[in-house]
Amino acid sequence: MDTPPLIRLERCPAPAKLNLFLHVVGRRADGYHLLQTAFRMLDWGDSLTFALRADGAVHRTTEVAGVPEKQDLVVRAGRLLQQASGCRHGADIAIDKRLPMGGGLGGGSSDAATTLIALNRLWGTGLSRAALAKLGLQLGADVPFFIFGRDAFAEGVGEELQPLTLPPAWYVVVAPPVLVPTAEIFRAEELTRDTGPIRITDFAASTTRNDLQAVACNRYPEVGAAIEWLAQFAPARMTGSGACVFAEVGSEMEAKDIVEKCPAPMRAWKAKSLARHPLSDWLD
């Protein structure tokens, strides 16, 4: 019997990421900062559903607070894939948003990566993982990592990726009640921009830091307060440009205990590391 054509892809995961460390090692001629970072994927994130449209339109069918449909990275990802492939299909995209926005967890980038991977399948456009990662970089520096699909040591602006093999781990992620604009942190005069490069083998927590953390804590004391609270239980650090902070803990039970103690208005979640992107099998 013939396989029926795909018309819908239900509940496709868009996992969060942590930056286990983040060093600013230089600056490109266009002002973008050169980084070294370790990306870790988490088994916690948004979820997206895609339905085929015959009229070529790409629509978001759910509201995302503060993000107009046209600017949503999922809509932009769909249109970019159409342009790159010449595809005439369209899609309705529903997002079940769980990740705090602008939290340094890469939610928007992960939504975009999931859209590129899922629509590449739904539309049968057949782009390779490498081609999708290149397209994704136009949407955000974290998108190639999610398409790469596993923990990674990253350089450049985050697009030069090498696989990292890390033991499974449990994390507590805490969101302070504040939004930290990425651009403001990278623009800050006081940002350290000359951390010496390290080798992939040297990124154990003791020898690394997040260079963006001092700037974020200085300008947004809520971030420092969240680190201080979480550090009672385990070494805590900011992810990306914040505002979220995280700590590795010994077990799910320990994570659960800490999450239950988290005082409002901070919010906390437990999350496990994820070895492979759940949609990896749809690539290559």
Ligand X SMILES: Nc1ncnc2c1ncn2[C@@H]1O[C@H](COP(=O)(O)OP(=O)(O)O)[C@@H](O)[C@H]1O
Which parts of this chain interact with ligand X (CB under 6 A)? 64, 67, 71-74, 95, 101-109, 111, 182, 240-241
Beta strands 8-27 and 90-96: pairing type? unpaired
- Write out the two tokens for 263: 């005082």
Q: Residue 67 binds which one of ligand SUD, ligand X, none, with CB within 5 to 8 A depending on kind?
A: ligand X
Q: Is the distance from CB of 132 to CB of 283 less than 8 angstroms?
A: yes
108 is in an annotated binding site: yes
* d(C-alpha 282, C-alpha 284), whole Å: 7
C-alpha distances (whole Å) from 44 to each of 18, 118, 154, 224 are 11, 18, 21, 24
Residue 142 touching ligand SUD (CB under 6 A): yes
Q: How far is the CB of 182 from ligand X (least distance, A)?
A: 6
How buried is 179 (Cβ within 10 angstroms: 0-12 exposed, 13-18 middle, 19+ buried)?
A: middle
Q: Residue 141 binds which one of ligand X, ligand SUD, none, with CB within 5 to 8 A depending on kind?
A: ligand SUD
Query: Which residue number, 68 or 167, has a Cβ lying nearer to ligand X?
Result: 68
Q: Which of 135, 120, 107 is nearest to 18 (CA)?
A: 107
Query: Which residue number, 90 or 158, has a Cβ lying nearer to ligand SUD?
Result: 158
Q: Number of helices (H) and strands (E), helices first, in the chain?
A: 8, 10
Query: Which residue number, 90 or 106, has a Cβ lying nearer to ligand X?
Result: 106
Residue 19 touching ligand SUD (CB under 6 A): yes
Using DSSP's 3-state secondary structure scheme, residue 234 falls into coil
110 is in an annotated binding site: yes
Q: How far is the CB of 139 from ligand X (least distance, A)?
A: 9
* d(C-alpha 235, C-alpha 151), whole Å: 20
Residue 210 touching ligand SUD (CB under 6 A): no
Clarify whether 256 is annotated catalytic: no
Residue 144 touching ligand SUD (CB under 6 A): no
Helix segments in the chain, DSSP class H = 73-85, 107-122, 129-137, 143-148, 182-187, 211-219, 221-230, 252-261
Clarify whether 270 is annotated catalytic: no
Active-site residue identified among 17, 72, 151, 270? 17
Using DSSP's 3-state secondary structure scheme, residue 83 falls into helix
Q: How far is the CB of 103 from ligand X (least distance, A)?
A: 5
Q: How far is the CB of 257 from ligand X (least distance, A)?
A: 27
Q: Which of 15, 144, 149, 158 binds ligand SUD (CB under 6 A)?
A: 158
Q: Which residues pair with 254 in a beta bridge?
A: none
Active-site residue identified among 46, 111, 142, 151? 142
* Secondary structure (DSSP) of 253-276: HHHHHHHHHPPTTSEEEEEEB-SS
| Binding-site residue ranges | 100-110
Which residues contribute to the annotated binding site for ATP? 100-110
Catalog residues that contact ligand SUD under the rule CB under 6 A.
19, 22, 31-33, 35, 37, 104, 106, 109, 140-142, 157-158, 182-183, 186, 240-241
